[in-house]
Chain A
């Protein structure tokens, strides 16, 4: 008979683990729009040539409900999603989509020309173009032939 019963305890732990796994597998973790535990909206940041591109998934947001500000290298996007409008809660059979007010502030990685920022909103994807500040741009340095 083992004095130290780690082995058995470990088995019990595995049973518990399996049980938790079984419980979790029955939960629907596929809410891509909500991304549990993450801030809303989810954003991606890209670097392309002379600009940074920030994209966010914002399906169902109306352009007039979207507010975009930038100051001191901090970009803030905020808005609200109200649809479906005026449907009482008891009428819902499924309710997986995010609803309500949201706001996110993002610090930009490098200096951008804050006055040259532009944004497009297409099919629920917000795309913000952030042109890099002049000092970050790649400059061609002309090389002249020296005659010395």
Chain B
């Protein structure tokens, strides 16, 4: 089934974000994502407002894709909060990739606080005819 190619499975960061727990490195949130399918593979978009190319870590280890974005506060430390609707924190989320993703060709772009990850399908292997020799 197509829906099994990528599975969001970030046990650690989900827990942290749901509770809004203060982490050792400050708050950690689970960013909202979109995943859609194209003919070439899957495309993942994640909202990471405040994350720059330099503060983003994206890694694939074994079959796990992890994104971690560090957010620098956009106001100085002496700014006094008058009204707060969102908290500033880092972003963490990870996914389990299936074999239908060509791990070696994963690429990513970050623009205006949105990360786009391209997860291409492995190249199709052409059927190979095997000659059978008789004795």
Contacts and interface: CB of A to CB of B under 8 A. Distances in A.
Interface of A: 28-35, 38, 42-49, 52-53, 55, 57-62, 83-84, 87, 91-98, 109, 121-125, 127
B3 interface: yes
Interface stretch (B59-67, B76-84, B96-104, B127-135): B76-84
Given A42-B85, A47-B80, A83 B45 contact: yes
A46 B82 contact: yes
Given A94-B34, A109-B82, A32 B45 contact: no
Nearest to B30: A30
Contacts of A52: 82
Given A44-B85, A48-B76, A84-B45, A92 B36 contact: yes
B32 A97 contact: yes
B112 A123 contact: yes
B29 interface: yes
A47 B114 CA distance: 28
B33 to A, nearest CB: 6
A136 to B, nearest CB: 13
A32 B17 CA distance: 9
Nearest to A99: B34
- Name the prevailing secondary structure of the A interface residues: loop
6 contacts: A31-B32, A57-B86, A59-B114, A93-B3, A94-B34, A123-B51
B37 A42 contact: no
Contacts of B80: 46-48
Interface string B15-57: 0011000000000011111111110001101011111100000
B122 interface: no
Given A33-B31, A33-B47, A58-B49, 20 more contacts: A30-B29, A30-B32, A32-B47, A42-B86, A45-B81, A49-B78, A53-B75, A57-B50, A59-B112, A84-B36, A92-B36, A93-B2, A93-B37, A97-B33, A97-B45, A98-B32, A123-B51, A124-B113, A124-B114, A125-B49
- Name the prevailing secondary structure of the B interface residues: mixed
A35 B48 CA distance: 14
A35 B18 CA distance: 12
Contacts of A91: 36-38
Nearest to B2: A93
Given A59-B112, A60-B113, A96 B32 contact: yes
Contacts of B42: 93
A77 B3 CA distance: 37
